[in-house]
Structure 1
Amino acid sequence: MDRRRVCDACSVRRVKCDGQAPCGACTKSSVDCTRLRQRAKSGPKGVRKKTLERLKTVKRQNSGEPSILGSRELEHHNNELIFDNIEETVAVAGSSAYSDVQQEIHEAGLCFLDTPGPSQQPATDLPQMLAWPFRMSLALLEPYLDIYHFKLYPVWPVVNKDALLTRLHNLAPDVNAYMLASSICAATMLQLQLSVLSMGGDVLDPSVILSEVENLRRVHDYRENPTLDHLSTSFFMHVAYIHLGRRTTSTLLLREAITFAYMLDLHRPSHYDEFSEPDRQGHLRMFWLLFITERAHATQYDIPCIMSIDPGMPELDTESQSYVLSAFIMLCQMFRSFSDASSGARLTADDLTLFNNQLLRVPTLTEHHNDLQKADLSVTQQWLRLMFWKLAINKVIMTANTNDDIRSVFFPISLAKELLTNISAMSIDTLEAHGPGMELKLFEVTNSVADMITLNPRQTTSALEIGPQDILVHLATIIGRFRGGNKTLLPLLQSRLSGIGLDSLILPRITDVTYDSPDTNREKSSIESNEALADHSLEDEYGILFGPYSLEHQSYV
Structure 2
Amino acid sequence: MRRQLTKRACDECISRKVKCSGSLPCDTCRKTFKEADCTYLKPPRRRGPKARRYTNRGRSASDGSIDHAHTEEAAQSVDNRPVNHADVHSDAHGDSLSASDWRNETCIPRAILVHIVRLYQTFSYSVWPVVHADAIVQQLENGTYDEQTLCLVLALCAATMAQLQLAPMAGGDVQTVDSGLLKLECMRLRERSDYRENLDVRGVLVSFFLHVYHAKINQRKSAMLFIQEAIAGGRLLGLDTSERNYVVTDDVVANEEIVFLLLWVSERGYAMHLGVRPSYSDPVQLLDAAHLAMNTHARGLLELFNLFVTFDKIQARRCSSGSLAQALSAASLAETEEALSLLAFNPDDQASTRLADFYITREWMRTIVWQEALSRRLLSSTSTTEVMTFRFPVVVGRDLLMSLQGLNETDLLPLGRDQLLKCFEVANSLADTVIYTPPSSISNALQVGPQDFLHALYQKILPFLEHDPMLKSILRAKTAEALVMAPARLSFGLVARIDVEESISEQADRIH
Q: What TM-score bracket applies, with the shorter chain setting the length?
A: 0.5 to 0.7
2:266 equivalent to 1:293: yes
Alignment check: 8 A CA contact 1:222 1:230 kept:
yes
Alignment check: 8 A CA contact 1:436 1:486 kept:
no
In the TM superposition, 1:50-61 aligns within 5 A as none
Q: Aligned with 1:235: secondary structure?
A: helix
2:107 equivalent to 1:135: yes
Q: Which residue does 2:469 correspond to in 1?
A: 487
Q: Aligned with 2:267: secondary structure?
A: helix
Deviation of 1:378 (Å): 1.6
Deviation of 1:375 (Å): 1.3
In the TM superposition, 1:153-232 aligns within 5 A as 153-165=125-137, 168=140, 173-195=145-167, 197-200=169-172, 203-232=176-205
Q: Aligned with 1:222: secondary structure?
A: coil
Q: Which residue does 1:445 correspond to in 2?
A: 426
Residues 352-393 of structure 1 show CA distances to partners (whole Å, capped at 9, x for unaligned) of: 343233323333372432221221112111111111222344
Distance 1:163 1:310 in 2: 33
Instruction: Letter of the 1:469 partner, please give it.
Output: Q
Q: Which residue does 1:65 correspond to in 2?
A: none
For residue 361 of structure 1, the aligned residue among 337, 342, 353 is 342
Q: Which residue does 1:528 correspond to in 2?
A: none
Instruction: Letter of the 2:199 partner, please give it.
Output: P
Instruction: Letter of the 1:488 partner, please give it.
Output: M
Alignment check: 8 A CA contact 1:323 1:368 kept:
yes
Q: Aligned with 2:424: secondary structure?
A: helix
Q: TM (normalized to structure 1)?
A: 0.60
Residues 457-491 of structure 1 show CA distances to partners (whole Å, capped at 9, x for unaligned) of: 33344535421222223323333321652222122
Q: Aligned with 2:129: secondary structure?
A: coil
Distance 2:290 2:479 in 1: 46
Q: Which runs of 5+ in 2 are unaligned?
A: 1-79, 83-97, 318-323, 487-512
Alignment check: 8 A CA contact 2:108 2:177 kept:
no
Deviation of 1:280 (Å): 12
Q: Which residue does 1:425 correspond to in 2?
A: 406
Deviation of 1:312 (Å): 4.6
Query: Which portions of structure 1, spanning 4 or more consecutive aligned residues, are displaced by more than 6 angstroms?
Result: 126-130, 273-276, 278-281
Aligned length: 381
For residue 121 of structure 2, the aligned residue among 149, 153, 156 is 149
Q: Which residue does 1:62 correspond to in 2?
A: none
Q: 1:127 to 1:187 in 2, by over 3 A?
A: closer
2:232 equivalent to 1:247: no
Q: 1:336 to 1:273 in 2, by over 3 A?
A: farther
Instruction: Letter of the 2:308 partner, please give it.
Output: F
Q: Aligned with 2:169: secondary structure?
A: coil
For residue 306 of structure 1, the aligned residue among 279, 298, 304 is 279
2:262 equivalent to 1:262: no
Distance 2:284 2:190 in 1: 35
Instruction: Letter of the 1:478 partner, please give it.
Output: K
Residues 85-135 of structure 1 show CA distances to partners (whole Å, capped at 9, x for unaligned) of: xxxxxxxxxxxxxxxxxxxxxxx999xxxxxxxxxxxxxxx9889954322
Distance 1:483 1:446 in 2: 12
In the TM superposition, 1:18-33 aligns within 5 A as none
For residue 467 of structure 1, the aligned residue among 443, 449, 462 is 449
Distance 1:205 1:229 in 2: 22
Deviation of 1:283 (Å): 4.8
Deviation of 1:427 (Å): 1.1
Instruction: Letter of the 2:193 partner, please give it.
Output: H
Deviation of 1:172 (Å): 5.7
Deviation of 1:405 (Å): 2.0
Larger gyration radius, structure 1 or structure 2: 2
Alignment check: 8 A CA contact 2:293 2:299 kept:
no
Residues 404-429 of structure 1 show CA distances to partners (whole Å, capped at 9, x for unaligned) of: 82232321111101111222322133
Distance 2:381 2:303 in 1: 32
Q: Aligned with 1:433: secondary structure?
A: helix
Q: 1:224 to 1:392 in 2, by over 3 A?
A: farther
Instruction: Letter of the 1:366 partner, please give it.
Output: P
Alignment check: 8 A CA contact 1:372 1:430 kept:
yes
Q: Which runs of 5+ in 1 are unaligned?
A: 1-107, 111-125, 505-557
Deviation of 1:330 (Å): 0.7
Deviation of 1:138 (Å): 3.2
Q: 1:478 to 1:311 in 2, by over 3 A?
A: closer
Residues 151-184 of structure 1 show CA distances to partners (whole Å, capped at 9, x for unaligned) of: 3222112223344456556756511101101111
Deviation of 1:326 (Å): 2.2
Q: 1:151 to 1:428 in 2, by over 3 A?
A: closer
Deviation of 1:317 (Å): 5.3
Distance 1:156 1:351 in 2: 33
Q: TM (normalized to structure 2)?
A: 0.65
